Structure 1
């Protein structure tokens, strides 16, 4: 059963104590408040003060949402190291990654709601769809793959065959997405690698490959990392 601790309109020092407690226990943390956000890494960005929804998950990932839209305006993947302090501007939360070196710094001047959640989710995920259904879903909601992904086209012809989805990520890099309805094995990984190499020669710019499948066969993950 989920355990919930909720602080409504807390003082910043009270919120800091709760936030540190939640981070130490690797809880899911939901913060709603007025904040500004700075990102520095491969690029840089600044978000002026406004009411935002900040979500930290137990895996160390971070999302910052505005009151509208489904994509986070700032985010960091799992594995972040978090630093917290009371600053002259307010409560400061910094999510740091070392590889690549980047950070998101959030400064709250006011917190409306802070919730610590010990959630339990052991449910299995089952996908019943054709590859065409999966392709259509990604084209309609690219954030299913990752925030900031922008499809360019689909069924793009390249020398080795056809790319299921051709896109660009939030860093401006080209992305090749290969979709498999069932378990993806060595052949799928090598096929994706051929597409990526072909497009690197054609585009002369960084190209990423993403393999979308409900499951990877034994050895496929290791091969993906090695290529």
Structure 2
């Protein structure tokens, strides 16, 4: 990655034209070839950019030239071109920083709290569903897809649990289909349902209640054994 801080002006020439007047900015050149122009605001969003595949050509003027059509000797010109022939023309002066760094291969974003994590944690702490409950199997197979958790309640009843991050009507409909299929199996019936999510929409709760499905709001931090940062009275 190359970082350049300089006073610059930027002109985009392509399907339309755009101009950034002279100002001090950060120029970011990544290993994928992309070039972006940033101000000290707007969060992560650049003022202008060129996405790969694109090519950067940098011109450093000859100080001895007297041709007024060329870039003055105290300036640099970047021309970034993509395969459509569009150009990002960046004229730089007063360069304060020009440095390159090898960041290596990034492993990518690992999301915490996705449904797979919730399912795994709930399986480990199945008592969250009720005292005396036990886990029969995770990803219990059916002809229309796997049920997240198949559990046994303290009274011996079979319970199908659907786990979501955000519970909506579609999730309730999905669990309803599982229950209809599971209740055809005499070795499992009667099978009850629990719809578990970090957040459950009111419409989903109403539909679940109408179909005899219990709703459970999950506390992800509590399942992980992490103390919540929310204020408590006691």
Q: Which structure has the larger Rg over C-alpha atoms?
A: 2
- Shorter-chain TM range is 0.3 to 0.5
Structure whose residues are more often helix by fraction: 1
Higher relative contact order (CA 8 A, sep 6+): 1
Name the TM-score, length of structure 2 as normaliser: 0.41
